[in-house]
Amino acid sequence: MLGALPIVVVICHPRVRFRPLPEAKDLEDLNQKLLTACEKDAQRIHGTHREVIQKRYEREKDRLIALPAYAFECCRVVGTEVNKFSQVQFETNSYSVPTRYAYQPVWIKAYEGEILVCHGEEVIARHPRCLQQHQEQVDPYHYLDLLAYKSRAVGQATAVKHFKLPALFYDYKRYLERRNPRRANREWILVIALARDYGMDKVLKAMERSIELGVFGHEVVKQFLWQGSKSEEVEPGPTQVPDQLACLDKPQGYENRLERYACLLQEEGARP
């Protein structure tokens, strides 16, 4: 047995299996090349059994153990706790999570190029993996809820410095400061939060509309976003019905004829 041990080590050693060193763009490309090599090797005649490897496999595969119901996660799983800065530590590096999970236990799944932070079965944060030491990965959107509550800290907050926002956001902040300096920071943070929920392009269009009309605030921007989403969902018919009447049930055989409302306008004009 001892005499056979060095042979097993040599056969399994990466210097034998990976010489010359394979070249690949990424892990997916490497796996594809390994699969191709395995399929090619399956047509080889085995030196001991003197039989094609693929044929022997076809004969024995019914006796093999079934594959698991789900794919194996090729990652390192570590349990930890979110600190007071709403971050988790992994291999000397820090990764942010939403502030509502501070001091709570979480799981870190460390993949080759990505870090997932999970609370129970929910993925609460996703970051590219840092390959150097003492690095920090911050998603500023994780801190929006806290900044909306402590709006005076917006000017000094490290998370705000990580934002890469279009110039229109900073122009809109100046409009908010002119309108109401005390609430400007909070309103601005809430507008940024809308970009997280609705998408950057839609929020930019809504802010342009807000500036055009001279009305400002996150509720104004949200209203324009809501109107835009409703116009995309509902295609208007040939006759436009006023919004105040659109929710009413129509009697059977009813036709949308705006002339019916002319009498209301006449009665309104007849009032003293």
Q: Does 238 reside within a domain? A: no
**3-state SS class at 2:** coil
Q: Are residues 101 and 154 in the same domain?
A: no
Nearest partner of 171 among 198, 141, 210, judged by Cα: 210
Total domains present in the chain: 3
Place of tokens 């502030």: 99
* Residue 193: CB atoms within 10 Å: 18
- DSSP-derived letter for residue 62 is G
| pLDDT at residue number 240 | 43
Pairing of strands 93-96, 87-90: antiparallel
One domain for residues 50 and 84? no
Residues 119 and 150 in one domain: no
Contact (CB, 8 A) for 218 and 187: yes
| The pLDDT of residue 107 | 95
Tell whether 92 is covered by a domain: yes
Q: Residue 23: its pLDDT value, please?
A: 81
The answer on 229 and 149 residing in a single domain is yes
Note if the pTM is more than 0.85. Answer: no
**In this structure, are strands 105-110 and 76-81 parallel, antiparallel, or unpaired?**
antiparallel
SS3 at position 128: strand
- What is the DSSP secondary structure assignment for residue 95, as one 8-state letter? E
Residues 16 and 90 in one domain: no
pLDDT of residue 234: 42
Is the separation of the CB atoms in 97 and 117 below 8 Å?
yes
243-251, Cβ contacts within 8 angstroms, sequence gap of 24 or more: none
Name the residue type at position 152.
R
How many residues are there in the chain? 272
d(CA 33, CA 87): 38
Query: Strand, coil or helix: what is 162?
Result: coil
Asked whether residue 31 is domain-assigned, the answer is yes
**202 part of a folded domain:** yes
- Please list, in sequence order, all residues whose beta carbon lies within 8 angstroms of the beta carbon of residue 69, skipping any fewer than 6 positions away: none
Average pLDDT along the chain, 272 residues, taken 10 residues at a time = 38 52 82 86 83 87 84 88 93 92 94 92 93 90 86 78 85 89 88 88 90 88 81 46 46 52 54 52
Q: For residue 133, give its domain range.
A: 76-137
Predicted local confidence at residue 8, as pLDDT: 37
Instruction: Report if residue 170 sits inside a domain.
Output: yes
Judgement on whether residues 127 and 155 belong to the same structural domain of the protein: no
Provide the β-strand partners of residue 116: 109, 126
The 10s digit of each residue's pLDDT in 54-73 is: 888 888 888 888 888 887 88
Q: Are β-strands 93-96 and 136-137 bridged in parallel, bridged antiparallel, or unpaired?
A: parallel
